[in-house]
């Protein structure tokens, strides 16, 4: 059994998660990471991806995490999220539509299309769908 | 002495004013509860954001980053958060006065959120660079993020060298303090009163912080988020303060009106009494004249 550490996930509107966990997995701009207790202090930028929280009893909570940053200290991990959603908050239809719209924007490439924005939108939609599906 | 009719007219007009102020007070009370709950729900994020920023900056003393030093331009940008509607006591005027006292009008660009602050500062010779007054009706985090974007772009182009934020801090229903906060370059002064003491714990064991991918990229990404969250927090606190201020102002207006109505009622009754007495005297005098 891994050591526990304190995990806080906060969004501008609420404390999204606050509890003792054994491991947390998420995506940063540098790739997917998993954090156990006693990690070296680090700060990283969060990229859209799946947030997996391994809780004390072995249950795994999943959520969609969109943007923000993570501060890792030895006994505490803080995720400052701009947007975070539990699977039950996600509207599949909307996410599906957003995915299709973003894909179209990327395919057509009209002049003036903000490619980066479209790609981000696509990524967000995919993350939402993934979170819901699992 | 005013006639009975004048007094009555005056009393009626004050009475209808009282009804309005009473209704406004009730509306403000309800809005206050809502906006206060929102401000309180958002508080942990800002306190944490502030702490995290604090710990990041304190662990990266040697980092020289563009957001940590003033730009070359002498111009200052200030975001002023006021309300779109008046009748909120000194709420709007306090912000205008504060900005006017702290920043020079000729070197300051105002990004106004709230029409009252915009108009007040324009009258005092400030240049209004942007107007986002719609935002205050229903602040979203997205609004704060967009404003941050605009400001950071201007900062990057060298149009402005410093960015300030003027807002009203919500302490409780009756106490609201106007504050001017420096957003950029990032400086972390004493957090007098912003937190309730809970967040003041010294980060223990200042281990070296590891930045992924590197400190510059991380600061590039975090500073805008830090700014947006401060702006968003300021919006919510100001909104709560606005409603609190309006409630207090309307409450005292209502009780003033009540007082005036009482006085006028007394005057009215005295005038009525006087009129009746006079009439009686006249009748009696008339009767005596006929009878005599």
Residue B52, C-beta contacts closer than 8 angstroms, at least 6 positions apart: A71, A78, A80
**Interface-testing mutation among B52, B58, B215, with chain A (most A C-beta atoms within 10 A):** B52
User: Residue B135: which of B98, B77, B81 has the closest Cα?
Assistant: B81
- B42 at interface of A, judged by CB pairs closer than 8 A: yes
Q: Check B218 against A44: CB less than 8 A apart.
A: yes
Full domain range(s) for residue A127: 90-133
| φ, ψ of residue B29 in degrees (nearest 5) | -60, -45
Q: Check A78 against B211: CB less than 8 A apart.
A: no
Query: Of B49, B207, B218, which is closest to A80 when you measure between CB atoms?
Result: B49
* HSE toward the beta carbon, residue B158, CA cutoff 13 A: 2
pLDDT at B254: 94
Neighbours of A61 (CB within 10 A): 15
Nearest CA in chain B to A46: B221
State the CATH number of the domain containing residue A61.
2.60.15.10
**A111 and A48 inside one domain:** no
The last residue of a domain, from among A87, A107, A124:
A87
Query: Of B41, B209, B211, which is closest to A13 when you measure between CB atoms?
Result: B41
pLDDT at B207: 59
The last residue of a domain, from among A69, A87, A105:
A87
**A43 and A95 inside one domain:** no
User: Which 8-state DSSP code applies to residue B275?
Assistant: H
* HSE toward the beta carbon, residue B100, CA cutoff 13 A: 15
The 10s digit of each residue's pLDDT in A29-76 is 888 888 888 888 888 888 888 888 988 888 888 888 888 888 888 888
- Dihedral sign of CA atoms B108, B113, B119, B120 in order: negative
The 10s digit of each residue's pLDDT in A87-131 is 888 888 888 888 888 888 888 777 777 777 788 888 888 888 888
| pLDDT exceeds 50 at position A79 | yes
Residue A70, C-beta contacts closer than 8 angstroms, at least 6 positions apart: A26, A28, A43, A44, A45, A46, A77, A78, A79, A80
Q: Which two tokens stand for residue B79?
A: 């975001």
Provide the mean pLDDT of chain A: 84
- Give the burial class of B160: count Cβ atoms within 10 A of its Cβ; 0-12 exposed, 13-18 middle, 19 or more buried: buried
Residue-level pLDDT, tens digit, chain B, 292 residues: 568 889 999 999 999 999 999 999 999 999 999 999 988 888 888 888 877 777 777 766 556 677 777 777 788 888 999 988 888 888 888 999 998 888 888 888 889 898 988 998 988 888 888 888 888 888 888 888 889 888 888 888 888 888 889 999 888 888 888 988 888 777 654 443 333 333 444 444 455 677 777 777 888 888 888 888 888 888 999 999 999 999 999 999 999 999 999 999 999 999 999 999 999 999 999 999 987 6
User: How many Cβ pairs closer than 8 A exist between chain A and B?
Assistant: 75
**A95 and A109 inside one domain:** yes
Q: Check A69 against B209: CB less than 8 A apart.
A: no
Q: In chain A, which residues have their Cβ closer than 8 Å to the Cβ of B210?
A: 40-43
CB of A103 closer than 8 Å to CB of A129 = no
Strands A14-28, A31-35: pairing is antiparallel
From the candidate CATH numbers 3.40.50.1260, 3.40.1380.10, 3.40.50.300, 3.40.50.970, the one assigned to the domain spanning B27-248: 3.40.1380.10
**A30 and A51 inside one domain:** yes
ipTM of the complex: 0.71
Enumerate the H helices of chain B as residue ranges.
4-58, 91-102, 115-123, 141-156, 215-291
Q: Check B209 against A82: CB less than 8 A apart.
A: no
Q: Check B56 against A82: CB less than 8 A apart.
A: no
**A24 and A79 inside one domain:** yes
d(CA B166, CA B179): 6
**A102 and A77 inside one domain:** no
State the CATH number of the domain containing residue A125.
1.20.5.440
Helix, strand or coil for residue B169?
Answer: strand
**A78 and A95 inside one domain:** no
Nearest CA in chain B to A74: B207
Secondary-structure breakdown of chain A: helix, strand, coil percentages, each rounded to the nearest 5: 30, 45, 25
Q: How far is CA A106 from CA A54, A100, A130, in A?
A: 36, 10, 20
- B221 at interface of A, judged by CB pairs closer than 8 A: yes
Q: In chain B, which residues have their Cβ closer than 8 Å to the Cβ of A13?
A: 38, 41-42, 45, 141
pLDDT at B2: 64
| Chain A nearest CA to B192, separation (Å) | 22
d(CA A5, CA B36): 32
- Is the bond preceding B25 in cis, omega lying within 30 degrees of 0? no
- List the domain boundaries for chain B: 4-21+251-291, 27-248
**A103 and A74 inside one domain:** no
pLDDT at B25: 92
CB of A36 closer than 8 Å to CB of A23 = yes
d(CA B269, CA B291): 32
Query: Of B42, B55, B59, which is closest to A13 when you measure between CB atoms?
Result: B42
Q: In chain A, which residues have their Cβ closer than 8 Å to the Cβ of B229?
A: 12, 80
Q: Check B222 against A43: CB less than 8 A apart.
A: yes
Rounded mean pLDDT, A20-32:
88
Rounded mean pLDDT, A1-11:
83
**How many domains does chain A divide into?**
2
Query: Of B56, B141, B205, which is closest to A43 when you measure between CB atoms?
Result: B56
């Amino acid at each position: 059994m891994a050591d526990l550490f304190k995990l806080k996930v906060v969004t501008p509107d609420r404390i999204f998660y606050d509890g003792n966990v054994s491991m947390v997995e998420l995506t940063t701009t540098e790739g997917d990471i998993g954090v156990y207790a006693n990690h070296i202090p680090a700060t990283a930028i969060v990229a859209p991806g799946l947030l997996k929280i391994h809780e004390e009893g072995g249950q795994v909570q999943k959520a969609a995490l969109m943007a923000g940053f993570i501060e890792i200290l030895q006994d505490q991990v803080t995720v400052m999220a701009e947007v975070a959603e539990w699977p039950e908050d996600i509207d599949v239809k909307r996410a599906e539509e957003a995915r299709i719209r973003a894909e179209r924007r990327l395919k057509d490439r009209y002049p003036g299309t903000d490619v980066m924005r479209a790609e981000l939108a696509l990524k967000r939609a995919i993350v939402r769908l993934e979170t819901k599906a699992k | 002495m005013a006639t009975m009719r004048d007094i009555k007219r005056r009393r009626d007009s004050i009475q209808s004013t009282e009804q309005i102020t009473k209704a406004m007070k009730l509306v403000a009370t309800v809005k206050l509860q809502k906006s206060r709950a929102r401000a309180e729900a958002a508080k942990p994020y800002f306190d944490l954001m502030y702490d995290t920023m604090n710990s990041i900056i304190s662990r990266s003393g040697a980092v020289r980053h563009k957001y940590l030093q003033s730009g070359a331009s002498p111009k200052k940008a200030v975001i002023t958060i006021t309300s779109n509607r008046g009748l909120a006591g000194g709420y709007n005027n306090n912000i205008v006065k504060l900005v006017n006292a702290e920043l020079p009008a000729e070197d300051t660009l105002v990004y106004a959120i709230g029409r009252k602050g915009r108009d007040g500062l324009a009258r005092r010779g400030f240049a209004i660079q942007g107007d986002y007054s719609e935002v205050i009706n229903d602040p979203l985090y997205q609004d704060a993020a967009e404003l941050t974007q605009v400001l950071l772009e201007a900062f990057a182009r060298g149009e402005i060298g410093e960015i300030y934020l003027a807002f009203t801090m919500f302490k409780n229903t009756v106490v609201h303090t106007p504050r001017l906060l420096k957003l950029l370059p990032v400086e972390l002064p004493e957090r007098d009163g912003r937190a309730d003491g809970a967040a003041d714990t010294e980060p223990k064991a200042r281990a070296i912080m590891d930045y992924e991918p590197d400190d510059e990229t991380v600061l590039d990404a975090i500073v805008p988020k830090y700014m947006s969250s401060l702006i968003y927090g300021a919006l919510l606190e100001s909104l709560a303060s606005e409603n609190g201020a309006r409630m207090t102002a309307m409450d005292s207006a209502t009780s003033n009106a009540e007082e005036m109505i009482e006085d006028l009622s007394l005057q009215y009754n005295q005038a009525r009494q006087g009129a009746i007495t006079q009439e009686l005297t006249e009748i009696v005098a008339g009767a005596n004249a006929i009878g005599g």
